[in-house]
């Protein structure tokens, strides 16, 4: 007993109540006055009938009938049935008794289906107004029009309330369970042997779906309708119930559920490339197809959701089988033997195919739906087990696959047969349909008949592994015809939830608190004293202006007398003027408020003094404090006025960054660090300054300092995308993966259209071996890359269109009229459609013109309303279904899909090389090498060489550059980097040759400044001063710096152009007045031009800032000795 008590408690059954309130606009066989009742059915079982109710045209039929069924919770299949099985309400007319008639006759008027899905979404009560769909032969089919509006017919409506006492799922359960919806739409381009006018067959689609951790249900879509290419579908196709029971007519359709229309670019299936579009247009417009448009919902408990997720992560693909079976015939005779009866009871399977649906996108963050065209392959259980090894653990696979009977096909046939046979005896006027006799109601667990096209193995099960798997010849026809199945799978909630932007922003703010925008305001005593200082300064300025106005004449003439007596006289005159004019009291009132604040905030005196001595003591103390603070306030004002204004800097932030990058190239890291720090000192609230300094720290491998810099960047600006990305990279390098993921995701939320952010997120997931998340990020990056390319093409299109309009002139208007021409009436539309069929080749011509009937019809709103009014799509084209459809129109050819200039990985590589993130750069280059659109290109080898140079791996960089030059001998970047490599190796001659070749190309290299500087320095070493001067001037023209102007000055000095040398050196000194070489050459110029004082000053500054060039010092000393001045030590 103890063990039983410890087991999990099962919730007692819950009654699901269906209350049919009333029916409006009913019409019987004798007119508007009739007696009627309703029958409620669920799961092929009658829940009861209501009493007879009278109704007229003015008064609705008030049934108020309640039916119920029990929902048990011990088996998850019960909740699964509620998800996909509707409650059917049939409205029945009770005819009056005739003479000698014992029982009343009934006539079925119409049916409605009630969707129970809201119960699985946590609702406990909801009301629905349903359309009653007429049954064949019902008086409702000929409903009279509205007298006020003859074009509108009355709709028969039924009010139904569904309620339960307690919700079927609690709040906690709703957060854990999920609802999977499978929509089987259409099989396009089926095998050529399938003929719409031939013998009838049953077309089935099946797939397994887990409902618990160790159980699964078989989803079957049966009774597919084969249609010819000329039989067009309505623009809005409504979905059908998977198990409609005995529903007929429009009742088999799910209310307000339609097949969506999506673009090729938005699909997830197989045929999505540009090359497949023409084939798909032809298959969907001209070829035979099989249509289901069936929706099946599957309830999944938490264990099933986890099992589903694990299986997708393991194999990614999910098998969806498709097959054709003959229509079963009734069995006559009961005297046959058991074996003969079993053989007759078998249903052969033909054209057994399988589509491997990639469900990996369902594991992308926030993704709830996939839809696409999935190609159908020949079914082979050996191939299924190879691609999906865990399929052998499914119960149906264990039962049937061991007998090599085709996986879930046999189970699907059993389910489909049961669905077709479970017709209600009330469906056709109270007479039960003829059922097959002889044991066909039993479940068929025995082996089924193998189709003739499936070759059986010649050995028993013991030697099955040594035999070649059977070949599915019929299934191969799917591959030959390029058949594909349109399928949609939707989840109520994503398997992998995506963190919302506000959660990510909060998490980032917790990790790196944002820096306040303004200085912290002081309150209390400190604030009161500061206010007093400002009021004293204001009053002091007013008093000073009053003094200047009183003694303006003397001040202008400059004869203001000095001494104690004139000063006392001026003071008395000023006080008299202030008192007589009332300004003295105004100044006191201005100071009064700040003094009161000091008393309250600093001395905490808020009540009246009772002791006079205490009051006098306090006033004396306050007076001393106020006088002292008055002097402090006046001192601040006077000191500010006496300060010499600081001149603005001669260089801006961009120039300092350029100088720092120049020092990096020259490997003068100390100077580069000084420039970066100077930028930060000028403006500490600029996130870009901290970011650039952080990338420099990455170059010198100071990761801790780089992390602090990126922290400052994000604290200043929480939306700094590059700062978020680099901080994420640093965290990934330190294996803090959860923090890194947060910052990468935040970057994609700040700029959702940033290709770089999505690519780096994918590289991060790739580094932690999360393949599915990496795949999702790369797909998003590719979408953004293509969208950016399309935006560039679109921005360039208006100019070309304008030119074309100018050239065409007046011919554009008639062409426009030709395109928009449509038939005026439905009858004309039908004639045009039929005449198009009669013309040979009209379909082909329509295909060549890219005509799409379904996509050019009425808007969604109109079609949805029409479908709700019992005008349901059928297997035959409805009259007037082509209304408003353009025909034979001249549609311009579709614009080609823009191709991005570079891949997402090369975009990431360029960025990562700039920020010196070498680990991620190697990962991106590896992906570029393996990418279908990438590979070993010249740009790839150049980028790899740049990476090797940053890592000081010169030999490998040289090999990569040679590969790049083999692929593109005119790549300026390859030649420029080769020159840098030779320069670092000390091969000056080869470096000069590479630099000169780079300058000879029409296109510039990525960084021309370093090329100019190094080539000009080579010229200086070779005493080619004129070439050095011209090359340095090119550098000064594009991006002047201290180094470039210093080079010009040196070249001019060697050429004897002392005036130009002094000008160039002065420019260099303006840009950097701490460069020792600049002061040294200025001293040489002054010595040559006999300027003793300036030569000595320049020489002293050169020594002061640390001139270390022995050659330059020796040259200066020689000239000093020759001219006899310039050195103070002489």
Most confident by average pLDDT, 219-223, 275-279, 543-547, 1032-1036: 1032-1036
Tally of helices (H runs) and strands (E runs) in the chain? 41, 22
Compute the average pLDDT of residues 1004-1022.
Answer: 92
Name which of 1075, 1066, 1070 is nearest 1108 in CA terms. 1075
- Can you say how many angstroms the Cα of residue 425 is from the centroid of all Cα atoms in its chain? 52
Percentage of the chain exceeding pLDDT 90: 40
pLDDT in tens, 1059-1104: 999 999 999 999 988 899 999 999 999 999 988 899 999 999 999 9
pLDDT score for 1124: 83
> With 0-12 CB in 10 A as exposed, 13-18 as middle and 19+ as buried, what is 561?
exposed
Binning pLDDT at 50, 70 and 90, where does residue 444 land? very low
Compute the average pLDDT of residues 805-822.
Answer: 41
DSSP characters for 393-414?
GSHHHHHHGGGTS-TTHHHHHH
Binning pLDDT at 50, 70 and 90, where does residue 59 land? confident
**Is there a contact between 115 and 255 (Cβ–Cβ < 8 Å)?**
yes
Answer yes or no: is pLDDT of 837 > 60.
no
pLDDT score for 544: 82
Compute the average pLDDT of residues 196-218.
Answer: 87
Name which of 849, 857, 850 is nearest 823 in CA terms. 857
pLDDT in tens, 750-809: 999 999 999 999 999 999 999 899 999 999 999 999 888 888 888 876 655 555 554 444
834 vs 62, 683, 883, 960, CA distance in Å? Answer: 48, 77, 13, 66
Q: CA 225, CA 556: separation in Å to the nearest integer?
A: 108
Binning pLDDT at 50, 70 and 90, where does residue 1024 land? very high
pLDDT score for 896: 60
**What SS3 class is residue 131?**
strand
pLDDT score for 460: 42
Binning pLDDT at 50, 70 and 90, where does residue 965 land? very high
Answer yes or no: is pLDDT of 1014 > 90.
yes
Q: What share of the chain is helix, strand, coil (3-state, %, to 5)?
A: 50, 15, 35
Least confident span in 236-245, 466-475, 629-638: 466-475
Q: CA 696, CA 671: separation in Å to the nearest integer?
A: 12
**Is there a contact between 313 and 772 (Cβ–Cβ < 8 Å)?**
yes
Higher pLDDT, 741 or 639: 741
Higher pLDDT, 1048 or 59: 1048
pLDDT score for 535: 85
Answer yes or no: is pLDDT of 813 > 70.
no
Percentage of the chain exceeding pLDDT 70: 78
**Is there a contact between 409 and 417 (Cβ–Cβ < 8 Å)?**
no
Answer yes or no: is pLDDT of 89 > 90.
yes
Residue indicated by tokens 């979408």: 783
- Can you say how many angstroms the Cα of residue 69 is from the centroid of all Cα atoms in its chain? 44
Compute the average pLDDT of residues 964-985.
Answer: 92
pLDDT score for 866: 37
Paired tokens of 369: 């739906």
Q: CA 111, CA 1071: separation in Å to the nearest integer?
A: 89
pLDDT score for 606: 80
Compute the average pLDDT of residues 484-509.
Answer: 91
Answer yes or no: is pLDDT of 850 > 80.
no
Paired tokens of 290: 């099989």
Q: CA 782, CA 1033: separation in Å to the nearest integer?
A: 43
Compute the average pLDDT of residues 898-921.
Answer: 91
Paired tokens of 226: 């084969």
pLDDT score for 884: 38
Q: CA 181, CA 183: separation in Å to the nearest integer?
A: 6
Sequence-distant (6+) residues with CB within 8 A of 538 are 590
Most confident by average pLDDT, 153-162, 421-430, 434-443, 736-745: 736-745
> With 0-12 CB in 10 A as exposed, 13-18 as middle and 19+ as buried, what is 546?
middle
pLDDT in tens, 313-369: 888 899 999 999 888 775 544 444 444 344 445 678 889 999 999 999 999 989 999
Other Cβ atoms closer than 10 A to 218: 17
pLDDT score for 639: 57
pLDDT score for 962: 92
DSSP label of 439:
S
Contacts within 8 Å (CB) and 24+ apart, 250-254: 250/131, 250/133, 250/134, 250/870, 250/872, 251/88, 251/110, 251/111, 251/112, 251/113, 251/133, 252/113, 253/867, 253/872, 254/86, 254/113, 254/115, 254/295
Name which of 163, 166, 145, 165 is nearest 155 in CA terms. 145
Report the b/e string of 514-532 with b at 16+ CB within 10 A.
eeeeeeeeeeeeeebbebb
Strands 289-300, 238-241: pairing kind: parallel
**Is there a contact between 720 and 714 (Cβ–Cβ < 8 Å)?**
yes
pLDDT score for 147: 46
Residue indicated by tokens 């070749």: 997
pLDDT score for 181: 94
Compute the average pLDDT of residues 677-691.
Answer: 92
Paired tokens of 258: 């339609």
pLDDT score for 422: 55
> Mean pLDDT in the chain?
80
pLDDT score for 455: 37
DSSP lists the bridge partners of residue 676 as none
Backbone angles phi, psi at 866, to 5 degrees: -65, -45
DSSP lists the bridge partners of residue 128 as 160
Compute the average pLDDT of residues 519-542.
Answer: 77
Least confident span in 245-254, 376-385, 441-450: 441-450
Residue indicated by tokens 């009669």: 838
């Amino acid at each position: 007993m103890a063990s039983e008590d410890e087991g999990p408690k099962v919730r007692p059954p819950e009654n699901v109540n269906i209350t049919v309130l009333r029916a409006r606009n009913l019409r019987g066989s004798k007119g508007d006055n009739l007696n009627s009742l309703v029958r409620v059915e669920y799961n092929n079982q009658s829940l009861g009938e209501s009493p007879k109710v009278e109704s007229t045209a003015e008064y609705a039929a008030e049934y108020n009938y309640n039916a119920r069924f029990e929902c048990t919770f011990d088996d998850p299949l019960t909740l699964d049935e509620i998800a996909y099985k509707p409650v059917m309400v049939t409205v029945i007319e009770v005819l009056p008794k005739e003479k000698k008639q014992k029982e009343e006759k009934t006539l079925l008027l119409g049916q409605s289906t009630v969707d129970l899905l809201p119960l699985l979404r946590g609702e406990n009560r909801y009301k629905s107004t349903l359309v009653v769909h007429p049954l064949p032969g019902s008086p409702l089919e000929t409903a009279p029009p509205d007298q006020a509006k003859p074009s509108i017919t009355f709709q028969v409506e039924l009010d139904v309330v569904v309620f339960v006492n307690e919700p079927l799922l609690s709040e906690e359960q709703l957060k854990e369970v999920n609802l999977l919806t499978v929509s089987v739409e259409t099989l396009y381009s089926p095998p050529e042997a399938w003929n719409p006018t031939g013998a009838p067959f049953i077309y089935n689609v099946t797939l397994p779906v887990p409902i618990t951790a160790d159980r699964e249900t078989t989803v079957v879509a049966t009774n597919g309708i084969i249609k010819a290419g000329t039989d067009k579908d309505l623009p809005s196709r409504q979905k059908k119930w998977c198990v409609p029971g005995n529903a007929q007519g429009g009742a088999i359709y799910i209310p307000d559920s339609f097949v969506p229309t999506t673009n090729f670019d938005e699909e997830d299936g197989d045929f999505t490339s540009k090359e497949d579009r023409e084939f798909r247009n032809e298959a969907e417009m001209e070829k035979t197809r099989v249509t289901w448009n069936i929706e099946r919902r599957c309830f999944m408990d938490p264990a099933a959701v986890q099992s589903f997720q694990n299986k997708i992560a393991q194999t990614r693909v999910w098998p969806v089988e498709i097959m054709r079976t003959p229509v079963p015939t009734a069995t006559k005779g009961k005297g046959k033997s058991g074996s003969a009866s079993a053989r007759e009871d078998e249903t052969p399977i033909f054209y057994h195919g399988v589509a491997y649906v990639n469900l990996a996108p369902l594991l992308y963050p926030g993704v709830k739906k996939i839809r696409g065209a999935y190609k159908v392959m020949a079914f082979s259980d050996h191939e299924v087990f190879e691609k999906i090894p865990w399929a052998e653990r499914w119960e149906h696979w264990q039962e049937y696959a061991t007998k090599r009977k085709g996986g879930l096909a046999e189970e699907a046939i059993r389910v489909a047969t049961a669905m077709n046979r479970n017709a209600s005896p009330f469906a056709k006027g109270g007479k039960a349909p003829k059922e097959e006799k002889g044991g066909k109601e039993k479940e068929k667990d025995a082996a089924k008949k193998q189709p003739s096209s499936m070759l059986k193995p010649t050995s028993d099960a013991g030697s099955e592994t040594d035999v070649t798997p059977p070949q599915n010849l019929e299934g191969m026809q799917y591959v030959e015809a390029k058949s594909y199945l349109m399928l949609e799978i939707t989840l109520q909630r994503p398997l992998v939830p995506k963190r919302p932007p506000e959660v990510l922003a909060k998490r980032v703010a917790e990790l790196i608190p944002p820096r306040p925008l303004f200085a912290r305001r002081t309150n209390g005593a400190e604030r009161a004293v500061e206010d007093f200082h400002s009021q004293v300064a204001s009053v002091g300025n007013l008093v000073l202006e009053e003094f200047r106005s009183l003694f303006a004449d003397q001040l202008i003439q400059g004869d203001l007398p000095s001494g104690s007596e004139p000063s006392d006289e001026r003071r008395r005159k000023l006080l008299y003027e202030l008192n007589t004019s009332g300004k003295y009291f105004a100044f006191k009132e201005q100071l009064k408020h700040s003094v009161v604040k000091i008393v309250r905030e600093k001395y905490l005196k808020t009540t009246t003094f009772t002791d006079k001595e205490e009051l006098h003591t306090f006033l004396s103390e306050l007076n001393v404090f106020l006088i002292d603070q008055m002097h402090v306030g006046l001192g601040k004002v006077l000191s500010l006025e006496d300060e010499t204004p600081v001149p603005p800097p001669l260089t801006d932030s961009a120039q300092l960054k350029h100088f720092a990058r120049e020092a990096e190239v020259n490997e003068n890291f100390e100077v580069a660090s000084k420039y970066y720090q100077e930028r930060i000192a000028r403006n500490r609230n600029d996130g870009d300054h901290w970011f650039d300094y952080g990338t420099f720290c990455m170059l010198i491998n100071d990761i801790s300092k780089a992390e602090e810099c990126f922290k400052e960047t994000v604290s200043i600006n929480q939306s700094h995308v590059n700062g978020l990305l680099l901080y994420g990279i640093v965290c990934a390098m330190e294996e803090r993966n959860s923090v890194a993921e947060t910052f990468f995701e935040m970057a994609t939320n700040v700029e959702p259209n940033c290709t770089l952010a999505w690519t780096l997120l994918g590289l991060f997931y790739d580094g932690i071996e999360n393949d599915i998340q990496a795949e999702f990020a790369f797909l998003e990056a590719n979408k953004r890359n293509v969208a950016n390319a399309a935006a560039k093409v679109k921005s360039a299109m208006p100019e070309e269109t304008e030119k074309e309009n100018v050239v065409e002139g007046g011919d554009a208007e008639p062409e426009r009229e030709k395109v928009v021409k449509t038939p005026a009436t439905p009858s004309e539309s039908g004639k045009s459609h039929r005449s198009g069929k009669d013309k040979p080749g009209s379909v082909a011509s329509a295909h060549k013109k890219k005509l799409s009937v379904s996509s050019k019809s009425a808007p969604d709103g109109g079609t949805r309303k029409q479908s709700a009014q019992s005008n349901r799509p059928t297997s035959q084209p409805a009259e007037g279904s082509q209304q408003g459809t353009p025909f034979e129109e001249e549609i311009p050819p579709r614009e080609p899909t823009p191709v991005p200039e570079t891949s997402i990985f090369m975009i990431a590589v360029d960025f990562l090389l700039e920020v010196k993130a070498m680990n991620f750069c190697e990962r991106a280059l590896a992906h570029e090498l393996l990418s279908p659109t990438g590979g070993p290109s010249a740009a790839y080898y150049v980028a790899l060489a740049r990476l090797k140079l940053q890592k000081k791996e010169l030999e490998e960089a040289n090999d990569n550059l040679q590969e790049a030059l083999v692929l593109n001998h005119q790549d300026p970047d390859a030649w420029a980097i080769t020159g840098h490599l030779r320069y670092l190796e000390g091969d000056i001659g080869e470096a000069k040759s590479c630099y000169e070749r780079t300058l000879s190309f029409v296109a510039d290299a990525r960084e021309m400044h370093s090329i100019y500087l190094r080539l000009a320095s080579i010229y200086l070493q070779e005493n080619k001063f004129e070439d050095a001067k011209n090359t340095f001037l090119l550098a000064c023209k594009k991006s002047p710096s201290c180094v470039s102007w210093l080079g010009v000055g040196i070249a001019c000095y060697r050429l004897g152009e002392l005036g130009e040398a002094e000008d160039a050196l002065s420019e260099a000194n303006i840009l950097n007045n701490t460069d020792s070489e600049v002061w040294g050459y200025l001293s040489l110029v002054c010595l040559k031009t006999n300027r003793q004082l300036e030569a000595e000053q320049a020489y002293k500054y050169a020594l002061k800032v640390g001139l270390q060039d022995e050659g330059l010092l020796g040259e200066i000393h020689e000239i000093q000795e020759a001219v006899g001045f310039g050195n103070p030590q002489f």
